[in-house]
Structure 1
Amino acid sequence: MKRLKSMYVFMLIMLLSTFTYGQETLKMSIKESKVPCQGVAPMECLQVKYDNQKDWQLFYDHIEGFNFEKGNRYEVSVIRTKRTGNIPADVSSYEYKLKSIISKTHVTKDKGVYDTKMVLTRLNGKTISNGEVYITLNSDTGMIGGKSGCNTFSAKYTQLPSKNQIKIDAPFGTLMACNDENMKLEQDFTNAIKDKKFKITKKQNTVHFKNSKDKTILEFTIPTQNDIWAYIGKNNWKLIMLENVGQDYGKASIKFDIATNKVSGNTGCNNFFGAYTVSGTDHIQFDGIGSTRMACLDGEANKREQKMLSFLNNKKLRFDVADQTLNFYLDDKLVMMFGIVR
């Protein structure tokens, strides 16, 4: 009897071992944003830390059952299982499955100098007033981008161990030709940032980039909401993209009266009018939108009008102003883009 009991216990242990072989439970922290990475092809990776690790690392795999939402930091428990058999070279040695979400915390970033547009106002003591050079440091991608005087540009930057210091790699961008003044400004600006380290200081809306080696100093100004809305209000805006489709949309346009918080425009078929309210630094909601009632004989024009009005009717949209474009986003998806009417 004892012998049978011992055999039973032995078989039970072996059975449990079979189910759990190569399997372990890990606690993982997941950062609130993905970053570009290179797997078999370019992709976006989660940033993770295991248990009490100090540094974030790229996570190239998929966690079964986990739905990542940008802007939230997670503490999760995952089951990691070692794959068996012949594993292809481009496949991870492990499979990951969500066991439980321990915590989910929405992270509100203090932007500081990151993820915000900065306009160059001085370069090595010379005042720059044409607004043709501006940059944004993207904290998610580690890229600096914007306009360099004539062309748009991008460059990789690296945050250095010393506080508020970055290194900017050589920039690359479009190759358009402009007037001599802007071309000279672009050359001076590109030479000023290329392969250099900068200490960044910010006081109110003024930001200084200082290179101690060659004494390069760049001064930027972060536009205030009054600056942004003065720019939006003084221009007429023509629809150039709707739900990711760029084309000539005829008379479709929008105009803001910032003194009265009124908005008006055209859908390509009918005129519309109403009011708007701004919340925070980058959200807008249109209210009480009405329109004329002419029949849109063109079926595509009618569909376009309905889409456009749907975005303008009591929806809270995020907006930003880029290089001569006014962009509106719904749930982080670009839904409307307007360009300046010249």
Structure 2
Amino acid sequence: MKLQFAILFLSISALSFAQKTVTMKIKENTVPCEGVAPMNCMQVKEGTAKEWSNFYSTIEGFDYQPGYEYKLKVIKTKRQGNIPADASAYTYSLKKLVYKKQIKTANESYLDKKMILSQINGKNINKGKVYLTIDKAKNAIYGKSGCNRFNAGYQLKGNQIQINLLMGTLMACDPESMQLEQEFKTAMENKKFEIHTQGTAVHFKDPKTKKVILAFTIPTEDEIWAAIDGKKWKLIQMDNVGKDYGKAGLQFDAKSKKITGNSGCNNFFGTFSTVKDQITFSALAGTKMACIDKDAAATETKMRHYLSETTLRFDVAEETLNFYKDDKLVLVFVKQ
């Protein structure tokens, strides 16, 4: 009897030793993470930890809802025996819900979308020479500053954004474009803003005065295709080389999702599909005339390469239709 009692006592002691109660904060959103397979992880701070870390396990008795921050008392138990390689060394169970607090998240609907400058320091800008995209995945801003293309890093916290130094090309343009570029860089570079959105309008405000410094508009998909559809577009630049490319050009029929054109020597036709600002060409076919002109033959080879079974990013700006491959500008067409 005494032996059984001793064994029971030791078992209880061992279990107690393997368990402890910890405080755990749970963030209001999950993040992609890599466990045994790709998954979404809760973000937690255990005990006095100051940084959020990915949580690859589960908490028995806890029902997580995105959009809420939690503080919990959790029983953390060390697993006994052989632990599988894909399992946590601990199990977790809810002891007490300390609080559940709803977190208001910032509107980030403007991210990863082309925004065209419409106003700077109260002055209307109507020519579409300045535009940008805030790329969340690459943590970069890129676009055109009036004359030159630019990119910059940024830090985003809620609706507050800090813009870093603008880096870009150094081309010279007409005086009006150069002046606009200088105004934009002065207003944008190394500045902090509050971002406010309303519909397709995006305002960059001074955090202290709440004055709108820069105003942008996001073109709708219908507006973009209204500018493209049915128009004849002539090739004027390929792989950063601008020149007369002869007959090379294209035309879209948005309703039937068909594309026709000339690639330098031969006429071609095919179909296309789009997802937001991504376009994929398929089933391209055409005439098979021999290209006697070497320049025309080279144009055809490159142009058909970019339009054959590939996905490109596209946008419309200042009467030009632009195509990008991995963020490199590869084809530029002008409206005829």
Range into which the TM-score falls when normalised by the shorter chain: 0.5 to 0.7
The reply to whether residue 183 of structure 1 matches residue 153 of structure 2 is no
Q: Tell me, what secondary structure is at the counterpart of 1:273?
A: strand
Structure 2 residue aligned with 1:142: 139
The residue type equivalent to 1:138 in the other structure is D
Query: Which has the larger displacement, 116-125 or 166-175?
Result: 166-175
- The answer to whether the 8 Å contact 2:116/2:128 transfers is yes
Percent pairwise identity: 38
Distance 1:340 1:299, change over 3 A: closer
**1:197 aligned residue:** 192
Instruction: Please state how far the C-alpha of 1:294 moved relative to its aligned partner.
Output: 1.6
User: What is the Cα deviation at residue 306 of structure 1?
Assistant: 6.2
Match for residue 168 of structure 1? 163
Q: SS of the residue aligned with 2:195?
A: strand
Summarize the Cα distance change of 1:307–1:173 in structure 2 as closer, same or farther, 3 Å threshold. closer
Q: Secondary structure, in 3 states, of the residue corresponding to 1:130?
A: coil
* The one of 311, 322, 325 aligned to 1:326: 322
Give the direction of change, closer, same or farther, for the CA distance of 1:325–1:127 in structure 2 (3 Å limit).
same
Q: Which residue of 1 aligns with 2:226?
A: 230
Following superposition of structure 1 onto structure 2, how do residues 72-83 of structure 1 map, counting pairs within 5 Å?
A: none
Cα offset for 1:145?
Answer: 2.3
Unaligned runs of 5+ in 1: 1-28, 33-48, 58-98, 103-109
The answer for the alignment partner of 1:120 in structure 2 is 117
Q: Does residue 211 in structure 1 map to residue 206 in structure 2?
A: yes
Give the root-mean-square deviation of aligned CA atoms.
4.2
**TM-score, normalization by structure 2:** 0.57
Cα deviation for residue 259 of structure 1 reads 5.7
- Note if contact 2:115-2:132 (Cα within 8 Å) is conserved in structure 1: yes
TM superposition shift of 1:135? 1.4
C-alpha displacement of 1:120? 0.8
* Residue 126 of structure 2 is aligned to residue 129 of structure 1: yes
Q: Does 1:252 align with 2:236?
A: no
Q: SS in structure 1 opposite 2:142?
A: strand
For residues 220 and 239 of structure 1, the distance between their equivalents in structure 2, rounded to whole angstroms, comes to 28
Q: Which residue of 2 aligns with 1:95?
A: none
Distance 1:56 1:179, change over 3 A: farther
- Matched positions, count: 243
The alpha-carbon distance between structure 1 residues 282 and 172, as it changes in their structure 2 partners (threshold 3 A), is closer
State the Cα distance separating 1:200 from its structure 2 match: 0.9
Alpha-carbon distance between aligned partners in 2 of 1:266 and 1:288, rounded to the nearest angstrom: 15
* Superposed displacement of residue 312, structure 1: 4.7
C-alpha displacement at 1:55, in angstroms? 4.5
Distance in 2 of aligned mates of 1:278 and 1:338: 19
Partner of 1:74 in structure 2?
none
SS in 2 for 1:140: coil
Cα distance, 1:31 vs. partner? 5.9
Among 143, 147, 151, the residue aligned to 2:148: 151
Task: Supply the distance in 1 between the matched residues of 2:162 and 2:292 (Cα, whole angstroms).
Answer: 57
How far does residue 151 in structure 1 lie from its aligned partner after superposition?
2.4
> Structure 1 56/250 Cα, relative in aligned 2: closer, same or farther at 3 Å?
farther
8 Å Cα contact 1:239/1:336 also seen in 2: no
The answer to whether the 8 A contact 2:240-2:329 is kept is no
Q: What per-residue deviation string (whole Å, max 9, x for no partner) do you get for residues 132-173 of structure 1?
A: 11111122333322222222223322123xx21111124243
Q: Give the whole-Å Cα distance in 1 for the aligned partners of 2:190 and 2:227.
A: 33
Please list, as runs of the form range in 1=range in 2, the aligned pairs for 1:16-35 lying within 5 A after superposition: none
**Superposition deviation, residue 208 in structure 1:** 1.0
Q: Is the 8 A contact 1:169 1:195 kept in 2?
A: yes
Map of 2:6 onto structure 1: none
Report what 1:37 is aligned to: none
Q: Distance in 1 between matches of 2:292 and 2:219?
A: 43
- Preserved contact between residue 269 and residue 286 of structure 2 (Cα < 8 Å): yes
Max radius of gyration: which structure? 2
- Assess if the C-alpha contact under 8 Å between 1:317 and 1:328 holds in 2: no
**Structure 1 residue 247: Cα displacement:** 7.9
User: In 2, are the aligned partners of 1:326 and 1:338 still within 8 Å (CA)?
Assistant: yes
TM-score when scaled to structure 1?
0.56
- Report the Cα offset of residue 278 of structure 1: 3.0
